[in-house]
Amino acid sequence: MPVNILNLPAYAVAELHENDHDYHIKASTRQHPVACIHCGHEKLDGFGRREQMIKDLPMHGKRVGLYVDTRRFRCKSCQVTFYEPLPSVNDKRLMTNRLVSWIGHQSVKRTFTSIADEVGVTEGTVRLIFKDYVSELEKTVRFETPKWMGIDEIYLIKPRCVISNIQNNTIVELLPNRNKETVIKYLRQLPGKDQIQYVAMDMWMPYRDAVTEVLPQATIVIDKFHVVRMANDALEKVRKSLREKLTPKQRRGLMHDHFVLLKRERDLNDKEQVLLAHWTAKHPDLGVAYRLKEDFFGIYEKSSTVTEALIRYEIWSKAITPELQDAFHDLNRAWTNWRPWILNYFVHPVTNTYTESLNSLIRAMNRLGRGYSFEALRAKILFAHGSHKREYIRPKFIRRRAEVEDTGIRFSCADDGDDLIDSVVTASTEDLEIVNYGADIDLLVQLIEAGEI
């Protein structure tokens, strides 16, 4: 096999020019076409030639352009003229196939500009190849529809919707926005959507409406995290408005107040406890607000039934002093508006472990996000190499028929001579059904932190 610097055996290299940045390589195909590409007739006339510039993989740190002397032919039979097909060259672009495939792989790992710069093409070209690459992946990669689904918000340039599999701690989709129509469209096309049992979400009406419409069988559960967070927000309002009323000197007495107040009571160290007691004595409202925050968490931690949660909430809301009504208004209103779905948590506490993982991922993605479009981030997250959580399921056990028994070994059962078990050929790995649950959230965080995405 002929060898050349290009490692493209179908080409003969005629000239090679190089400068600090680039290789310019003149080449031509070794084999003329033997038949008309239209009618298959074998008699062809030469009909001129042209030079085509084909981009190839960077080599030795330099960009590579191939100048291919492409011949044109005319068929003696059908009279149609055609240029010779170029082996290893992409049929959509003036690039080698290996370059297109390399750009595709790179485009989910790196910024488009860095790839464009390395290869010597425009960023727009990289974007188009990325789109083709991702749509190819979409066709081949199918994630299992979660039985317990999470629908959350993730802020990437603007708020987006992230769909997760709660039981498997994986991401299965990122939607460009949080609109009802977008979520409906996504849910409608999901295979096996009628198997979805629970949907955990934050208090966002379009999510609820979409799920109610498309997944009537699913139980909606408001994620605990989003509810208790509002108790922290209320306390923050009290703290900030108190600070506004204080003199700079008094304010210095509240050093690290934000940090201490948001801590759970059981996690406070001795020093923090003293500080808190001191502030509470000086600013009683702050003390009441802190107590309300803690007691609201207590509704979740101490109630194991809906009734208990309801009673605890009633007691809790009566403890809000008139001065603090404003600060706790949002939380009270959310509880009122979302009560049935908030209470579902006390029947189906489905949301515990993944929220924390998801929050780490959201933080990691926001660090990663700079310089990427949403589509690129989505592809990185969904198709990152090595992040998919798969399960290999053996095919159903099928009883071997007696009439096909030839080389099989027969095992006889010790205590019952009549009961014979047929041997079964071991399933090879190709027979295994692969279930792909999506991108593992913890693995994604690790990959992002290791700079591999």
Question: 78 or 413, CB closer to Zn ion?
Answer: 78
Question: Beta strands 388-393 and 219-222: pairing type?
Answer: unpaired
Told to check if 76 binds Zn ion by CB under 5 A, we report: no
- How many residues touch Zn ion under the rule CB under 5 A: the total is 7
Nearer to Zn ion, 38 or 385 (CB): 38
Question: Residues near 325 by Cβ (< 8 Å), separated by ≥ 6?
Answer: none
**How far apart (Å, rounded) are the C-alpha atoms in residues 105 and 67?**
25
**Widest CA span in the chain:** 102
d(CA 163, CA 147): 12
Give the whole-angstrom CA distance, residue 34 versus residue 84: 10
Helical segments of 112-214, H only: 112-119, 123-140, 180-188, 205-214
Give 312's DSSP letter: H
The answer to whether residues 21 and 32 touch, using CB atoms and an 8 Å cutoff, is: no
Name the residue nearer to Zn ion (CB basis): 41 or 240. Answer: 41
Residue span binding Zn ion (CB under 5 A) among the ranges 21-29, 76-84, 128-136, 149-157: 76-84
Return the residues of window 345-374 that contact Zn ion according to CB under 5 A.
none
Q: Which stretch binds Zn ion (CB under 5 A): 40-48, 84-92, 105-113, 200-208?
A: 40-48
**Within 13 Å and on the Cβ side, how many CA atoms surround 188?**
8
Nearer to Zn ion, 78 or 421 (CB): 78
Stretch of 74-82, 153-161, 163-171, 223-231 lying at the interface with Zn ion (CB under 5 A): 74-82
Strand partners, 162: 152, 174
Nearer to Zn ion, 75 or 382 (CB): 75
For residues 78 and 176, give the distance between their C-alpha atoms in angstroms, rounded to a whole number.
Answer: 51
Please select the residue that binds Zn ion; options are 38, 188, 229, 333, rule is CB under 5 A. Answer: 38
Stretches 38-46, 376-384, 400-408, 444-452: which one binds Zn ion (CB under 5 A)?
Answer: 38-46
Beta carbon of residue 81, minimum distance to Zn ion (angstroms, whole number) = 10
Stretch that binds Zn ion, among 41-49, 167-175, 428-436, 443-451 (CB under 5 A): 41-49
Closest CB to Zn ion among 80 and 393? 80
Least Å distance, CB 70 to Zn ion, is 18
Q: Which is nearer to Zn ion, 38 or 390 (CB)?
A: 38
Measured from the CB of residue 47, what is the shortest distance to Zn ion in angstroms?
12
Cβ proximity to Zn ion: between 74 and 339 the closer is 74
**Phi, psi for residue 58 in degrees, rounded to 5:** -60, 145
Shortest distance in whole angstroms from residue 68 CB to Zn ion: 23
Q: Does 105 bind Zn ion (CB under 5 A)?
A: no
Tell me how far CA of residue 246 lies from CA of 172, 243, 321, in angstroms: 49, 5, 21
**Token representation of residue 315:** 């007691």
Q: Which strand (E) or helix (H) includes residue 236?
A: helix 224-245
- Give the contact letters, 17-36, x = binds to Zn ion (CB under 5 A), - = no: -------------------x
* 78 near Zn ion, rule: CB under 5 A: yes
Kindly indicate which of the ranges 39-47, 170-178, 187-195, 290-298 contains the residues binding Zn ion, using the contact rule CB under 5 A: 39-47
For residue 47, state whether it binds Zn ion (rule: CB under 5 A).
no
The single residue among 17, 30, 32, 41 that binds Zn ion, judged by CB under 5 A, is: 41
78: DSSP letter: T
Nearest distance from residue 69's CB to Zn ion, in Å?
23
Question: Which residue in 168, 230, 163 sits closest to 389, CA to CA?
Answer: 168
Q: Which C-beta is closer to Zn ion: that of 82 or that of 374?
A: 82
**The two structure tokens encoding residue 50:** 């042209």
Rounded Cα–Cα distance for residues 120 and 216 (Å): 52
Backbone dihedral angles phi then psi of residue 3, each to the nearest 5 degrees: -115, 140
- With binding defined as CB under 5 A, does residue 44 bind Zn ion? no
Taking CB under 5 A as the criterion, the residue among 75, 242, 448, 453 binding Zn ion is 75
Question: Could you tell me the smallest distance in angstroms from the CB atom of residue 87 to Zn ion?
Answer: 20
196: tokens are 């979805």
Return the number of the residue (38 or 92) whose C-beta is nearest Zn ion: 38
Amino acid identity of residue 358, one-letter, is L
Start-to-end Cα distance in the chain: 38
Q: Measured from the CB atom, is 80 or 319 closer to Zn ion?
A: 80
Indicate which single residue of 5, 14, 39, 277 sits in contact with Zn ion (rule: CB under 5 A).
Answer: 39
Q: How far apart are CA 188 and CA 182, in angstroms?
A: 10
Min dist CB 32 to Zn ion, Å, is 15
Tokens of 210: 């979409």
Minimum CB distance to Zn ion smaller for 47 or for 411: 47
Strand partners, 163: 151, 173
Q: Contacting Zn ion (CB under 5 A), which of 77, 232, 280, 317?
A: 77
Residues of this chain that bind Zn ion (CB under 5 A)? 36, 38-39, 41, 75, 77-78
